[in-house]
Amino acid sequence: MYFLKMENIHKFYGSVHALKGVNFEVAMNEIVGLVGDNGAGKSTLVGIIAGSIPKTSGKIFVKGKEVEIPSVKAARDLGIEMVYQDQAVVETMSVAKNIFLGRELLKPGLLKLLDMKTMRKEAERITKSLGLNIASPDQEIRFCSGGERQGVAISRAMYFKAELVILDEPTAALSIAGVQKVLEFIRQLKASGTSVIFISHNLYHVYPLADRIVVFSKGEKVADMRKGETSIEELEHIQISGKRISS
Ligand SMILES: Nc1ncnc2c1ncn2[C@@H]1O[C@H](COP(=O)(O)OP(=O)(O)O)[C@@H](O)[C@H]1O
Ligand SMILES: [Mg+2]
């Protein structure tokens, strides 16, 4: 059973043909590693899924039902959440406020007062369960490292029970320890039943975690393989040449 299925997706930015009839699927509780050179169309594809980029044509199905994803809110309502490297969080807001940003918990009653106490408690619970060592839910995001910020964004996705979480180059600007932390968050997302699309141009970050690896080149999907059907050497070759070794 697929969570997401995309058929014959095209995207034009003016005269730039960024996606050329792409078919792409994500199964339930599957980690899909998406790799390929700069400009291959990876961010465009996930932007279409996350509701931040409109497709030119093609069909999208979520759990077998055809959908339109015209906005980030529409994507969220379908259980799709994107974790951005930087924009996910507001620098001067606390960890707790960032996790609940736009979806704040309210106290019962007509006054619509923010239930800060519950939000702080829940923020602490979810960050702890992810193994994120943040001193307090009141800590401002600007005092968190790059890896911790992504942990906060993943906490958001987990709290609101996203069914598909997308990470676009989450390891790009991180220290070695930060990379390990983000890879561990992705493992925990999988353990919690979520599907994940993990984009990186570093195959060595993607390969150990992914159930399936998809390679893009110049707007086309050039490989789509279960991990057991391929090797990191073959994938590296495909990524560089845009072609499979055999067949
Ligand atoms: N907003 C945009 N306007 C015009 N061209 C764009 C825009 N965004 C991306 N592109 C072009 O679309 C192609 C795919 O880009 P992108 O999806 O960002 O690739 P990747 O994430 O694989 O590096 C590239 O040729 C890029 O220059
Ligand atoms: Mg990109």
**Would you state the pLDDT for residue 175?**
79
Q: Is position 247 within any domain?
A: no
As a three-state string, the secondary structure of 36-104 is ECCCCCHHHHHHHHCCCCCCCEEEEEECCEEECCCCHHHHHHCCEEEECCCCCCCCCCEHHHHHCCCCC
Counting atoms of ligand 1 from 1, which one is nearest the CA of 37?
Answer: 22
Say yes or no to pLDDT of 48 above 50. yes
Name the residue range of residue 30's domain.
2-241
**Would you state the pLDDT for residue 172?**
78
Number of domains forming the structure of the chain:
1
Say yes or no to pLDDT of 247 above 60. no
DSSP 229: G
Higher pLDDT, 185 or 45: 45
Q: Report the separation in Å between the CA atom of 37 and the middle of ligand 2, taken as the mean of its atom positions.
A: 9
Question: In angstroms, how far is the first alpha carbon of the chain from the final one?
Answer: 28
**Would you state the pLDDT for residue 45?**
98
Q: Is position 237 within any domain?
A: yes
> Tens of pLDDT along 135-178?
899 999 888 888 888 888 888 888 988 999 999 988 877 778 78
Residue with CA closest to ligand 1 atom 1: 13
Ion ligand 2 neighbours (CB, 5 A) are 43
Q: Is position 187 within any domain?
A: yes
Say yes or no to pLDDT of 28 above 80. yes
> What is the percent of the chain where pLDDT is above 70?
96
Across the chain, mean pLDDT equals 91
Q: Is position 47 within any domain?
A: yes
Q: Is position 246 within any domain?
A: no
**Would you state the pLDDT for residue 89?**
65
The domain that contains 123 carries what CATH number? 3.40.50.300
CA angle (158, 161, 164) in 5-degree steps:
90
**Would you state the pLDDT for residue 195?**
97
Q: Report the separation in Å between the CA atom of 25 and the middle of ligand 2, taken as the mean of its atom positions.
A: 19
> Tens of pLDDT along 80-132?
999 876 555 678 899 999 999 888 999 998 888 999 999 999 999 999 888 88
Pairing of strands 31-36, 57-62: unpaired
**Would you state the pLDDT for residue 140?**
92
